[in-house]
Amino acid sequence: MFIANELRKTNIAEYLLYMWQVEDTIRAFGCSISRIRHEYIDRFDYSDEQKEEETDWFGNLIRMMNSEGCREQGHLQINKVTMQQLCELHAQLLSSTKFPFYHAEYYKVLPYIVELRNHGADKDENEIETCFNSLYGVMMLRLQKKEITPNTQHAIKEITTFIGMLNDYYLKDKQQPLEFE
């Protein structure tokens, strides 16, 4: 909760990836709040009050996952809404002539998106979601200490730059709405 709240304010892309990881963490503990409390939350250097807050937060997420049918797979509605906001902003940025650097970065990353879709990604998913899925996949590979090919590393570097630009525009838009034309 504490990490999520901070990321939501400072980096929406990292927030979304973190929340996907939280969903998977909940699943790894069998959606059991007692296991999450004793095997996960208790490992952190939190005060008793912070541990209670964190436990309540995880409990609420578990209830949401159960009620939204994403106990086994998929994403919470709150995360889907965040993704949708990013996808909508992406479309607005591309439809405007006021953001040439974003356009250039998008066309630089587009071949990687096409390649990802040709290698099993859902062809109907939005390009931004494809980028996030690739970032999350590589994050999981790194956590598992698995090898990442140089080609994949290069693609991820480019995708990270692109998503970083989208993140920056998202934050600017939240502070003061962007003018698209």
Q: Is the pLDDT of residue 123 over 70?
A: no
Q: What is the mean pLDDT of the chain?
A: 94
Q: Is the pLDDT of residue 180 over 60?
A: yes
What are the structure tokens assigned to 19, written together?
A: 């929340």
Q: Is the pLDDT of residue 121 over 60?
A: no
Q: Cβ of 73: how many Cβ atoms within 10 Å?
A: 9
The CA distance from 26 to 62, in Å, is: 7
pLDDT one-digit tens code per residue, 64-119: 999 999 999 999 999 999 999 999 999 999 999 999 999 999 999 999 999 888 87
Nearest to 111 by CA among 56, 159, 177, 48: 159
Name the least confident of 38-42, 119-123, 151-155: 119-123
For residue 124, the model assigns a pLDDT of 74
Q: What is the CA radius of gyration of the chain?
A: 18
pLDDT, mean of residues 52-74: 96
